């Protein structure tokens, strides 16, 4: 996916023109298309950095396309054009990153796109300090010192959500809603996440990262440490044996 393109789906002519002008001011190329059953495939082929969907103009309120876009191998940042708070809530639950109301305000849209691209770029490097851990939200990959960590889509979403706010606690309820698309009470969410976090720690540890970087803050939620706790140095067996002999000699 390139960081220089906007894909507009189903927007009315005035909104599409305004969005295109705002995007071009930011140096983004623009593709505008009507919705078809093959739209998600077209978005994937374009590798667009940002997708703008007029959910009011799409079948089912655009929720189906929103879910398709966020599940693409190279997901785009997703902005939904909405006509009501209910549409905004539905689009956000379906995976939209942000929502804007009709008619499109060019300054507001340009600011939103700039902010989203900046946050996305920051997220890629947000975990760099955690002993070589890198999160690439555009490729949906995590790596440690250049080695890809073999994560399931769910594990990646959990890790990616925590990596957006390193050093800050995310409640189990919020993490389950964002990463798993489930609305659960806090205790239920924490029980479900416990399994995913356990597997994440195992995989991170096998990849050379310190699994303790994923912390369970009891009673509050989960957090990704900004800096992984330093691992205890492993002493050679010869050193341990020598220390043991010295202690025995002193006690004799």
For 180, residues 6+ apart whose C-beta sits below 8 A from its C-beta are: 154, 157, 158, 192, 193
Model pLDDT for residues 121-147, shown as the tens digit of each residue: 555 544 444 557 888 776 778 888 888
* Greater model confidence, 7 or 147: 7
CA distance 250 to 252: 6
Choice among 15-19, 55-59, 194-198, 239-243 with the minimum mean pLDDT: 239-243
Q: Which two tokens stand for residue 155?
A: 């594990």
For residue 81, what pLDDT is reported?
Answer: 92
For 139, residues 6+ apart whose C-beta sits below 8 A from its C-beta are: 1, 74
CA distance 70 to 84: 22
Model pLDDT for residues 60-118, shown as the tens digit of each residue: 778 888 888 877 767 688 999 998 999 988 888 888 888 998 888 888 888 888 887 77
The whole model's pTM is what? 0.53
Q: What is the set of domains in the chain, with CATH numbers?
A: 5-122 (3.40.50.2300), 126-224 (1.10.10.10)
Q: Which two tokens stand for residue 22?
A: 């705002």
């Amino acid at each position: 996916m390139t960081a220089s393109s906007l894909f507009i789906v189903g927007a009315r002519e005035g909104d599409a023109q305004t969005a295109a002008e705002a995007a071009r001011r930011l140096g983004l190329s623009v593709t505008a298309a009507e919705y078809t059953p093959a739209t998600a495939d077209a978005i994937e082929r374009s590798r667009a950095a940002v997708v703008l969907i007029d959910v009011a103009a799409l079948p089912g309120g655009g929720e189906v396309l929103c879910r398709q876009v966020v599940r693409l191998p190279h997901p785009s940042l997703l902005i939904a054009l909405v006509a009501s708070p209910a549409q905004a809530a539905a689009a956000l639950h379906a995976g939209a990153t942000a929502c804007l109301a009709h008619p499109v305000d060019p300054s507001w849209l340009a600011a939103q796109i700039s902010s989203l691209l900046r946050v996305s770029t920051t997220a890629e490097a947000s975990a760099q300090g955690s002993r070589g851990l890198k999160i690439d939200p555009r490729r949906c990959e995590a790596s440690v010192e250049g080695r890809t960590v073999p994560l399931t889509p769910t594990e990646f979403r959990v890790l990616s959500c925590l990596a957006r706010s390193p050093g800050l606690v995310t409640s189990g309820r919020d993490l389950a809603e964002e990463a798993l698309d489930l609305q659960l009470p806090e205790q239920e969410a924490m029980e479900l996440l416990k399994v995913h976090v356990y597997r994440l720690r195992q995989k991170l540890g096998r990849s050379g990262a310190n699994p303790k970087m994923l912390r369970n803050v009891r009673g509050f939620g989960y957090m990704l440490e900004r800096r992984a706790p330093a691992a205890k140095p492993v002493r050679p067996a010869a050193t341990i044996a020598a220390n043991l002999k010295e202690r025995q000699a002193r006690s004799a």
